[in-house]
Structures are given as structure tokens and as C-alpha cells.
Amino acid sequence: MALLEVKNLDVRFAVRGGDLTALRRISFSLDKGERLGLVGESGAGKSVAAFSILNLIAKPGYIAGGQILFEGKDLAAMSERELRKIRGNRIAMIFQDPMMTLNPVLTIGTQMVEAILAHRKISKKEARAIALDRLQKVQIPSPEKRLDQYPHELSGGMRQRVIIAIALLLDPEIIIADEPTTALDVTIQAEIMDLLLNLCEQENVALMLITHDLGVVSQVTQRMLVMYSGRIIEQGPTREIINDARHPYTQGLINALPQMGEPGARLFQIPGSMPSLKNVPSGCPFHPRCNFATDQCKRAMPEYVRSGNVDVACYEVANLIEQEKRMQEAES
């Protein structure tokens, strides 16, 4: 059984003039110790997906359907009280901006001890020892001193290390990291990603990494999901998708990277931009930007088809697979 299994999750936002569907029939699973990447551009719904796992979507957002099974229990159906036992304890979360996540008026030590005491019945002294141990794990120089410092005394990279240390406090099974390095410089980003990767391996923690950076996903994760306009359009092993993307959108995303183009030549570009939730196109939401779009694409959302180890939602890919099958049958 998978550690976390999301089945047909629907998330909507109730706004004036009707509901906006932010996530539509999202299904994926995460195994113990596995590293999963969630990729997409802004507005794709990747952060909503991450937040909804811990039922953290703020009103007017709500989970309209589907299940989020964590060790077999449905998080979507749990009471707030039960959820609290899981949040931060079994499933921890790392957010994008370390300055917004840390409380500016409390010392690092106070915040860490508070998090431990919320879940464990131990003395403050023991809690402080755990906090110190985690700060050492994230390789912060002079950790004893840091415990008594305030967030503003640390640099951006240090703060994000503290956030990772807090996430690790209670030995979680899953860490959900929402764009953990986007606010940081490249050299610091590389160090933080290295650290996160090594810690997840050592402690056998599953990682769900939300990012827009295909390079990071490629280096850190084993499997990835590509999201577009609230749907998963492609999912499978990271290497297989990066090397040989099936969905036209994923192909476009990869080919649009400057490192893929000939220096000085025009870059591959996907025309248009991601639709807003208010007017999602009918059928496959990508069809107005897609070179392969047919009438079929405008009518209905394609079902997933399997190509290699990758699941893709695209009629064009389905047709190609059909054709290949027929060719093989004709040959034999």
C-alpha cells in the first residue's frame, strides 16, 4: 500500500457567480521514502494540490470530492482535531518564503520547542535537545547560538535551513516542500536542495516537491507530475519524462528552456498563456495553445493512456500509440 494515495481529488473555490474548479480529478500516490515532483506554471494548481493534502486550503476553497488516503485513513474526511495530530507531526510542510514562515518576535529555539511540545509530552529541556540535534543535521554553523537568535539575524539560506530543521523535528513520514528554493540565490539553492535530498535519503522520508524549475525536479525527484489548469496531464518516472516527454505541453515546457536552444537562436515558444480558472477552455484545457489540437480535443478531456511507464492525458498521444499497435499487428 502506498503511504499517501490521492484519489480523484476535486478542489473548488466558492466565489460570487459560481464555483471555480481549481483541481479536477487529481490522482497520484507517494510511496515511503519516495521523492515526487509537482511541476507546472503559476495557476496550474500545484500549490493548491499541496495545501489540500493537509486540508490547509483557506476559504472560499473547499475539497469537493475525492479521497486523500494517508496510511489508509482519509485526511479529507478527518476532523480538525484529528488532522492536527498529523500536521507537522507525520506530514510536515516547507513553504516558499522563509521570512513569512518564521515568527519574527520569537527566537528560533522557542519556535522549535513549541512545535515539539504541541505533539510530544516531554520536558522543555528534552525538546531543546531535539531542536539542537535537528539544527546540527541541517549543518547550521554554531547551532547552540542559533537557538537564541531571532529570524531577522539569519540570512535567507540559514532561515530556510531552520525551516527544514523544523520540518524534521518530529520525524515525519512525508515532507511537502512548496517552492522551497525559489526565493534564494542559485548557489544557496543548490546547497539547500542537496541538503533536502540527502536528509530525505538518510531518514527515509518521502518528499513531495512543488516547483516550476524543471532542472531541480530532474535532479532531485524520482517521479514527477505535470499539472496544467488544475489537471495532471502527465505523470511517471522523472527521467523518462524529461528525456522523452509525451504531452505537447510538457514537451513545450522543456523545449522553451534556454539551455535547450542553440545559443543566439530563437527559443521554442508555446503561444498564449495559461487560462484563468474563470474561463477554462472546454475539453482538454491545453487545446487553444496546442499544435496538435483537433475537434475531439475541444469536446472532452482525454482519458489517461499509458506509454512506457508514463500516464498521459492527450488524444494525440493515444492516437500515436494506437497507430503503433496496428503497425505491429500488421507486421506479425
Partner 1 sequence: MTSPLVSIRGLEKRFDLSGSFLEQLRFEGGRLRRKQEAVHAINGVNLEVQKGEALCVVGESGCGKSTVARTVMGLLSPSAGEIHYGGQRIDNLEGKAALPYRRKMQMIFQNPYASLNPRMTIQQTLEEPIRFHHPDWSPVQVRDKIHEVMHSVGIDPDWGSRFGHEFSGGQRQRIAIARALAVDPEFIVADEPISALDVSIQAQVLNLLMDAQESRGLTYLFITHDLAVVEHFGTRVAVMYLGRVCELADTKTLFAMPRHPYTQALLSAIPKLEDDRPNHIRLQGEVPTPVNLPSGCVFHGRCPYANERCRQEVPQLIATDGGAQVACHAVEEGRL
Residues that bind partner 1 (CB under 8 A): 41-42, 155, 157-158, 185-191, 193-194, 197, 212-216, 218-220, 239, 242, 252-254, 256-261, 263-264, 266-271, 273-274
DSSP tag of 281: P
Which residue, 119 or 239, has its beta carbon nearer to partner 1? 239
* Least distance CB 190 / partner 1 (angstroms): 4
Determine the Cα–Cα distance for residues 237 and 33; give it in Å rounded to an integer. 15
**Closest separation in Å from C-beta 217 to partner 1:** 8
Q: Which residue number, 66 or 248, has a Cβ lying nearer to partner 1?
A: 248
Query: Smaller CB distance to partner 1: residue 72 or 271?
Result: 271
Residue 297: CB minimum distance to partner 1, A: 18
Q: Which of 88, 157 has the CB closer to partner 1?
A: 157
Q: Which residue has the cell 516558499?
A: 96
- Using the minimum distance from each CB to partner 1, give the nearer residue, 69 or 188: 188
d(CA 193, CA 207): 12
Beta-bridge partner residues of 91? 87, 174
Determine the Cα–Cα distance for residues 252 and 268; give it in Å rounded to an integer: 7
To partner 1, the closest distance from the beta carbon of 10 in angstroms equals 25
- Nearest distance from C-beta of residue 258 to partner 1, angstroms: 4
Q: Measured from the CB atom, is 17 or 271 closer to partner 1?
A: 271
Pairwise CA distance, residues 40 & 210, whole Å: 9
> Please, which contacts does 179-186 make with residues 24 or more away whose CB atoms are closer than 8 Å?
179/47, 179/96, 179/210, 179/211, 179/212, 180/94, 180/95, 180/96, 180/209, 181/211, 181/216, 182/96, 182/211, 182/212, 182/213, 183/96, 183/97, 183/98, 183/156, 184/156, 184/157, 184/160, 185/156, 185/157
Cell 464555483 belongs to which residue? 19
- Three-state DSSP at 282 gives coil
Question: In this complex, which beta carbon is closest to partner 1, that of residue 43 or of residue 66?
Answer: 43
Is the Cα torsion angle 224, 226, 232, 233 positive or negative in sign?
A: negative
Minimum CB–partner distance for residue 281 and partner 1 (Å): 15
Helix extents (H) in 104-212: 108-117, 124-137, 143-147, 156-168, 186-203
Q: How far is the CB of 269 from partner 1 (least distance, A)?
A: 4
